[in-house]
Amino acid sequence: MPCTVIVGGFWGDEGKGKIISYLALKDKIDVCVRTGSVNAAHTVWLEGKRYALHMVPAAFVYENCRLLIGAGANIHVAKFLEEVELTKVKNRIGIDHQASVIEEKHSEQDKTSAHLKGIGTTGWGVGPAIEERVRRTAKLARDIPELQPYLTDVALEVNNAIDSGKKVILEGTQGLMLSLFFGTYPYVTGRDTSASAVCSEAGVGPTKVDEVLIVFKSFMTRVGAGPLPGELSKEEAVKRGWFELAAGTGRERRSAPFNFEIAKKAAVINGATQAALTKLDALYPNCKGVKKFEDLPLEAKAFVKEIERQIGIPVVLIGTGPDAQDIIDRRT
């Protein structure tokens, strides 16, 4: 597993935070690079405490992990400083000099721009911040005095780590169906969310990647507007125990059953070599807390096998509860 890219297979909120935090502790990950921006909240539980991280990499739970934010990312300075304080990672987190900065004005533009009306953005301003970066008028991390202590060359650090055989995770955000290129345009986020884009944002070439781990939830959810095949009514979602609120914005998540066609497309475009499946206990309540594949009920096993058959990659991690340790690890 020297260099693994972690991506979402649906519309975000698949449980990447949980999977990354598990791997960080279990595999003793040396370096974790976060990409994307403040719009994505990755939920991590540590010692009974819940963190919804918008900036700090989810691998912070492993105290020897070096945490980095890549050149392609967008930094929300206040949120970054707040989370560094909260997670106590000041001495082991770095930001690339060239990461861009998202400002209050971008959030205003996000909420008031006519062309964004109806998309249902998170309101953080990521789209407008990226527009400004493309115009080449954006502020970069190196322009911000409070960020000076954290500045580093992330691409250099992460490539050195990979070359010396260290264990590296590149942390993607959102999911393929929110990709600017491959998602349900115009109901998408402001960037590509595929594994290639994650590598690009971190500064890692495709030949350096060993595994692409795609995370699927056992059912699909989406926040904001745009198509969701097989969408259930809120009443039905509540009845099935699939009703969720967004970790970042608190908005209600829409839900639908697992869709094999979408999952297949996401696995192909990401070049996925492995899958993780989260929240299996939401589909089959008698899976809760199970830690061995053999102990799963028959219908749950059949569902996992059907995913492997149709998508053609192994489901190596299966989430059976919210805690980082509620997991079936099928890697040998």
Active-site residue set = 13, 42
Sheet strands (E) in 66-138: 66-69, 74-75, 93-96, 100-101
Per the rule left: phi > 0, alpha: psi between -120 and 50, beta: everything else, 219 is beta
The single-letter code of the amino acid at 68 is L
CB 125 within 8 A of CB 103: yes
- Output phi, psi for 135, to 5 deg: -70, -10
- Binding partner at 314 among ligand IMP, Mg ion, none, C-beta below 5 to 8 Å by kind: none
Which of 121, 200, 274, 320 lies at the binding interface for ligand IMP (CB under 6 A)?
121
Residue with tokens 């799963």: 296
Q: Which of 155, 16, 188 is nearest to 72 (CA)?
A: 155
**Distance of closest approach, residue 140 Cβ to ligand IMP, in angstroms:** 20
- 41 in contact with Mg ion (CB under 5 A): yes
Which entry of ligand IMP, Mg ion, none binds 122, CB below 5 to 8 A by partner kind? Answer: ligand IMP
Nearer to ligand IMP, 13 or 96 (CB): 13
Smallest separation (angstroms) from ligand IMP to the CB of 245? 12
Distance CA 36, CA 121 (A): 15
Which CB atom, from 2 or from 322, has the smaller least distance to Mg ion? Answer: 322
User: In the numeric block, which tokens belong to residue 280?
Assistant: 């299996």
Min dist. Cβ of residue 178 to ligand IMP (A): 5
Q: Which of 32, 56, 84, 126 binds ligand IMP (CB under 6 A)?
A: 126
Q: Does 127 bind ligand IMP (CB under 6 A)?
A: yes
Strand order in the sheet with 244-245: 219-222, 252-257, 244-245
- Of ligand IMP, Mg ion, none, which one sits near residue 127, judging by CB under 5 to 8 A according to partner kind? ligand IMP
Chain residues binding ligand IMP by CB under 6 A are: 11-13, 39-41, 119-122, 124, 126-127, 173-174, 178, 187, 189-190, 223-224
